[in-house]
Amino acid sequence: MTASPIQDESRLCVHSITTKPWTIEEAAKYYAREGVAGITVWQNALEGRDPKIVGRMLREEGLTVVSLCRGGFFPASDAKGRQKAIDDNRRIVEQAAALGAPLVVLVCGAVPKQPLSVSRQQIQDGIEAIRPEAEAAGVKLGIEPLHPMYADFRSAVNTLGQANTMAEQIGSPSVGVVVDVYHLWWDPDLESEIERCGWNRHLFAFHICDWRVPTEDLLTDRELMGQGCINVPEIRGWVESTGFNGFNEVEIFSTRYWGEDQLEFLRKIKRAYRSAS
């Protein structure tokens, strides 16, 4: 099922990293002025700032704070490293609570040469360790599977099936998954795995962009929706058919677009959002 066309920006969220050259104050001002409804805040945007004050400023601009990106990176080759990751994630949960973000997106991590299965167990153990604090703070944790090209050190969780299994094993309403079309579009099981997490009520967030053809950089060459090879409306249709009615979050890392006038870029995002999402 392809989703019905998007008519307005009431469910449009933009990740602060998408307009990286802007400060968080600039992003807030221009997002609000352009009718963007939500913002996902990346940690770099909070550097040197009090998250409580930033959260208040965003809400005063009329924006909904959708999530904080990002926690995770749990695996490490020794116990000390794993403990440090857990401590760091506890601080990130506190930061999200102060910001007023209901969700922390987890980029789970991996250790090169360590078996991926070992890293996955360490990820699960790490999430279990911070779960009580997250629950107490009212902050959810979203496991975001990353494309397998990032399995070296960014994430040992590479399919939605793996993320779903982990969330189900943890078995808490506070732990779920994040679907990002960039990472998952290629997966032949994507539709059924979206159905699985949707009906289990642990589909927490939906990230969109496009896969540029040919891609020239594995991290910072993402495209606007409609400019690459991902059928975003089809995937959005699968997501919405589970009853998901959260934000469509535009997350584009692109040195190409970061080099442009950011207000022009934001307007391009709005056009692509309506015409190709």
For Zn ion, the closer CB: 180 or 187:
180
Report the alpha-carbon distance of residue 5 to residue 60 in Å, rounded. 30
CB of 251 to Zn ion, least distance (A): 5
Q: Does 180 bind Zn ion (CB under 5 A)?
A: yes
Q: Does 210 bind Zn ion (CB under 5 A)?
A: no
CB of 56 to Zn ion, least distance (A): 26
Q: With CA atoms as reference, report the closest residue to 61 among 84, 90, 30.
A: 30
CB of 113 to Zn ion, least distance (A): 26
For Zn ion, the closer CB: 114 or 209:
209
CB of 204 to Zn ion, least distance (A): 12
Q: Which residues have C-beta within 8 Å of that of residue 20, sequence separation ≥ 6?
A: 44, 253, 258
Site for Zn ion in 225-264 (CB under 5 A): 251
For Zn ion, the closer CB: 121 or 227:
227
Number of residues that bind Zn ion (CB under 5 A): 3
Q: Which residues have C-beta within 8 Å of that of residue 221, sequence separation ≥ 6?
A: 212, 215, 253, 254, 255, 256
CB of 262 to Zn ion, least distance (A): 20
- Write the burial class of residue 223 (CB in 10 Å: 0-12 exposed, 13-18 middle, 19+ buried): buried
State the amino acid at position 109 in one-letter form: G
Given a contact cutoff of 8 angstroms between Cβ atoms, the answer to whether 46 and 73 are in contact is no
For Zn ion, the closer CB: 4 or 255:
255
Q: DSSP letter at 1? A: -
Interface ranges with Zn ion (CB under 5 A): 180, 207, 251
